[in-house]
Chains A and B, each alone.
Chain A
Amino acid sequence: MTTTLEPLRWLEEPAKVLVEKNNGAVRAYFQVTVPRDLTAMCRGRAVEELPRILSILSPSHHLLAALVLDHLGGVTPPDLARNLREALLHCQVFRHHLRKLYFLLSAYGNPLAEPPGPRGRQDLSPVPRPVLDEAMEHLGLIQEAATILGGRSDHPLTSVAGGVSRFLKEGHYARLAEIASASLAYARRLGEFFHNRVLAGGRIFSELSAVPSVQLASLTYDPAADLIGVVDASGQAQETFSPEEAVEKLAWHQETWTYQPFLYLKARGWQDLSASDHAGCFFVGPLARLNRNREIATEQAEAERQRLIEALGQPPHYGLAAAVWMMLVELLEAGESLVALCTEENLSGPEIRHVPQAMGEVAQAALEAPEGLIFHRVQVDGQARVLNLTVFEAASANNALRCLLTQAVMAEALTQSRPFNSAQRSLELGLLPT
């Protein structure tokens, strides 16, 4: 007997779940239903177009593609350009995490219900309407900051080979500083709301804690050392490797039942998803960053991370509550970083670009995006056209996690005799941080 569960709320890639029930056993498939045409689509394109083309994956891919162009052209951007790009990245972290948290909250309050008027019924939902409205308002604000820095909403333009494409305008500095400080203040308020109404216990916390979790190794990128780090499922740091080695260390696996390929650690081999051991699989994202257990540079975020450790224990953690908490930590970090960066001093300067003289043959770079580690490697011909492109993005890096989580949720639902729509809800919540 098979059941199809679709659509899955809040998921960027079109996907559905197929559940096969046979003699009390359950086999669940997480199927991405759209082909990943990326490499084929980019072959033959002029390499300088990649920051704009790849921004459809996520805005962070725009920044990464520009970084690759810097390497390909053998130039380092001037300080101003680095600051502008970094500020844009912090905006993307804030926006990404806030959107996920908004989706989480929308599971407990109806974002599209009629706003309660003076004669309206009292709002008794665990997440009152004003909370959702405020989240949406701040999503809009941070999007405004991202548009100022990136030139366009959602698919930024301004990062180019060697720097950025234009100086900010006079009025931008004040506005960015304003948005930065409002965002930080909001991150604190949202954190308090979560502490009081979500993490302190009660209905929401019970539901989040009940969502099954999957223990896997995790990968993160450290820009200061320019190294990708592997932490195994037990929390031990395993190895590090440079972006140059990434194509040797990571490989693809393809199944027939999903268009999305899987990324895995080549040295450990691919294990079938139905097996009990998944040493080759890994995941990326906020939980991966929590599990590398490193001090955060900004004060309030680090304090919040310590609060997390005090409440939940030392990493590694794999539960949904920990993931949500880590997103709150990173929301603070992004807010604090923006406040520090968005000053006229940091965002103005004499130069926006160092112009390269020629393009090399091959270059690669990695970036820790809000959704997780991302990586590009590009090979070009004599006319700087793309010969070959390798992209590791969060969707393929987390594909194994999503599949295993789907299996775990559906299997548990069967043992507890829960209906499918309840299992689907648990899965949607569990997929939010991935």
Chain B
Amino acid sequence: MKKKRLAIYTGTGCKACEHAILDLHYQVNPLTRGADLCFWPYLLGSTWNELEKAERCDVAIYAGAIRTAADAEAAARLRDKADLLVALGACAAFGGLPGLINLVPPADRSESDQTPDAEGPALPEAREKVAAVPSLVPVDYIVPGCPPPQNFLWALLQCLLGRPGLLSRISFAAHRLPEALAQAATAGIPPRRGAVFAGERAVCASCSRIKQEKRFTTAKRPQFLELDEGLCLLEQGLVCAGVATREGCGGLCTGVGAPCRGCYGKAENIIDPGAKLVSAISSTFDAEKPDEVAKIVGDMVDLSGTFYRYTLASQCLLAAAPPVAAESDSPAAPEALAAGEEA
């Protein structure tokens, strides 16, 4: 059976997503048994020229956010060349941590005071706003997480490379995926396009902490708290984004005493994760009067950077670029995308 052709690329981001794919490889080469790695710059030095000249890819994986014109152009090229495009990781799927720069006016972003002399070769232009990949080109699948856990990477590759493998590898993921998606992963067939490799409910559904419906009169900061190991973090006064975030990770962060920060993006039925968190958190305020509420809120800091930690660029109603419609005409030409315009 002919192996599927797989491309892997990172735009602007760290290399954790690609390392996560590399880490899969240690289990006796199943990655190479299943795929023909036709384009992998990080490991193999593949060039764009090689990609252009080669036959079509079956699957392209794009990790990292769109920060520069080069990132945008890469997204357009991979969309053009591959039958299926996957946004891997919170950066590609939602904008990720790089998206936080959208809160900063461009004039305030530079680190050094020195104005350099304009000399030397040009650099790819930095866009004014970081964007998620789906805002530029239609994406077939989204695998959230920072980085996505191994089980979900296995589920993704199993679906898309068409080689059903051991159930044990994906049982953790299958247990938390919607049924149709889990069945597709187990059988080794691509699921419905647009699927997100995560659950539909909120993280609370998988979090092992106990909910008791406590209320509190002051906002807390985690560094000053002796955390109870078993109780819900929201109910200990912390901001935990789990209530607005898709499940799938199994409550990785809350399991080790760190509040969820939403790297899986908003849960299925939520319109805006920040709005959901306003609702959830304010309902824990033990306050009847406006000044009491104002005091609690006054002690809370950086709402926009916490409620939208990974999703500012794509899921914040007041700041996000909407996704490109999947049924639209062919995506904008690479030059237009590079200039920061949208399809």
Contacts and interface: CB of A to CB of B under 8 A. Distances in A.
Interface in B260-280: 261
B258 A157 contact: yes
Contacts of B339: none
Interface string A234-257: 000000000000000000111111
Given A152-B252, A152-B253, A154-B16, A136 B112 contact: no
Interface of B: 10-16, 19-20, 22-23, 25-29, 31-33, 37, 41-47, 67-68, 70-71, 97-98, 100-101, 103-104, 108-112, 114, 116-124, 126, 146-147, 149-150, 221-227, 229, 252-253, 255-258, 261, 299, 301-302, 305-306
Contacts of B97: 41, 53, 56
A46 B42 contact: no
Contacts of A41: 97-98, 100-101, 104
A261 interface: yes
B252 A357 contact: no
Given A41-B100, A46-B302, A69-B223, A256 B43 contact: no
Contacts of B104: 37, 40-41, 43
A38 B101 CA distance: 9
Contact of A48 (B10, B19, B41, B223): B223
B144 to A, nearest CB: 14
B26 A136 contact: yes
B89 to A, nearest CB: 11
Contacts of B111: 36, 38-40, 252, 254, 261
Contacts of B15: 12
A133 B29 contact: yes
B44 A9 contact: yes
Given A12-B14, A355-B225, A256 B252 contact: no
A160 B224 CA distance: 11
Interface residues of A, number: 81
Contacts of A139: 22-23, 26
Contact of A45 (B112, B118, B222, B302): B302
Interface string A169-205: 0000000000000000000000000000000000000
18 contacts: A9-B43, A33-B124, A34-B71, A40-B109, A43-B104, A44-B302, A45-B305, A46-B302, A46-B305, A56-B97, A151-B258, A158-B256, A254-B111, A255-B120, A256-B118, A257-B119, A257-B121, A385-B301
Contact of B256 (A56, A103, A115, A151): A151
A434 interface: no
B15 to A, nearest CB: 5
Nearest to A158: B256
B221 A48 contact: yes
Given A162-B223, A257-B122, 12 more contacts: A9-B45, A11-B42, A20-B121, A31-B121, A34-B68, A37-B109, A40-B108, A41-B104, A106-B43, A157-B253, A166-B257, A355-B223
Contacts of A308: none
Nearest to A37: B101
A14 B12 contact: yes
Contacts of A151: 252-253, 255-256, 258
B10 A155 contact: no
A165 B124 CA distance: 41
A14 B11 CA distance: 8
A141 B27 CA distance: 11
Interface in A19-58: 20, 29, 31, 33-41, 43-46, 48-49, 52-53, 56-57
A37 B19 CA distance: 22
Contacts of A226: none
A222 interface: no
B227 A165 contact: yes
A45 B258 CA distance: 16
B302 A385 contact: yes
Contacts of B147: 153-155
Contacts of B119: 256-257
B301 to A, nearest CB: 5
Contacts of B25: 111, 136
A6 interface: yes
Contacts of A18: 121
B223 A140 contact: no
